[in-house]
A = this chain, B = another copy of it.
Amino acid sequence: MLTALEKAGILVEALPYIKKFYGKTVIIKYGGHAMINEQLKQAVLTDAVLMKFVGMHPVIVHGGGPEITGMLKRVGKVSEFVGGLRVTDRETMEIVEMVLVGKINKDIVALINRFGGRAVGLCGKDAGLFKAVKKPGTLRLPDGSTQEVDIGFVGDISRVNPQIVVNLIGEGYIPVIAPVAVGDGGESYNVNADYAAGKLAEALKADKFINLTDVEGILRDRNDLSSLISTLHVDEVPELIRQGIIDGGMIPKVECCIEAIKGGVPQAHILDGRVQHSILLEVFTDQGVGTMVVS
């Protein structure tokens, strides 16, 4: 049991970090385990509220997850996948959007508000935040060749208009954003949350981009936690991909870190969302958690 004095001492220890990030904008890509596990969820969102109160400007971009699959199941919809992307017909898109925007997004908003923050939930349609164009699907055929196929309402973000986010930050709100974008014809597109977060970080010229994942960070040897790469330079990445050290689902996560950095964000982080308060640890202590990508 800690005494009150010891607790006070720990608050004082955080002071240099509070100073360092005072007034800074931090984009948090929120997904994976940290969205499912109740305790982790509360930890992440409390962290965001705390960041706001000590003068930082957190912005949350969340992913989808099992709830989408659950809902699709409930309406008897079976999804096909092409190249890891869900083939998204109009009905599927409708379900995806309702779950992302009408359920997950507002649940996060309500929780933040319960923890004392003032959150506002947005999707890419609000004030034209995310514009998208249709993304082509690539089907790998048995003979090794590829064929372009229509995978429906899956989009690539073509334009970010961050004004509404800037306004909300300026008035003390925590924006919470669902990865749904809008096409020129007003149609909805499902967009990858990692890329959406990275693009937003770039458009906002954010000071930090944090990607909460379900891994410890990037390991040189997947079986050896001590091989964690603490700091990764953008130009080391191609070689690491070639060697297969960065592969699979980690590639898009690293790619959007790189894009954010090239767009002017000084630091991008791949953090382990399974560790409670990993954002706080990254921001408020010297404890190395996960991998930091820098230019």
- Could you list which residues of chain A lie within 8 angstroms of chain B, going by C-beta atoms? 2, 4-16, 18-19, 22, 43, 46-47, 49-50, 53-55, 71, 74-75, 94, 97-103, 105-106, 109-111, 113-116, 118-123, 125-128, 164, 167-168, 171, 173, 180, 182, 186, 188, 275-277, 280-281, 284-285, 287, 289
Contacts and interface: CB of A to CB of B under 8 A. Distances in A.
A181 to B, nearest CB: 10
Contact of A102 (B6, B100, B128): B100
Contacts of A4: 281, 285, 287, 289
A105 B10 CA distance: 28
Given A114-B186, A167-B167, A5 B276 contact: yes
Interface of A, helix, strand, loop or mixed by DSSP: helix
A182 to B, nearest CB: 5
B97 A106 contact: yes
7 contacts: A7-B284, A15-B116, A53-B54, A97-B102, A97-B103, A109-B126, A118-B128
A2 B8 contact: no
A75 B109 CA distance: 26
Contact of A127 (B12, B49, B98, B118): B118
Given A111-B186, A120-B164, A164-B173, 13 more contacts: A4-B281, A5-B281, A7-B14, A11-B280, A11-B284, A15-B116, A19-B53, A53-B55, A71-B98, A99-B102, A106-B125, A109-B125, A118-B128
Contacts of A285: 4, 7-8
Nearest to A55: B53
Contacts of A122: 120-121
A169 to B, nearest CB: 12
Contacts of A127: 113, 118-120, 173
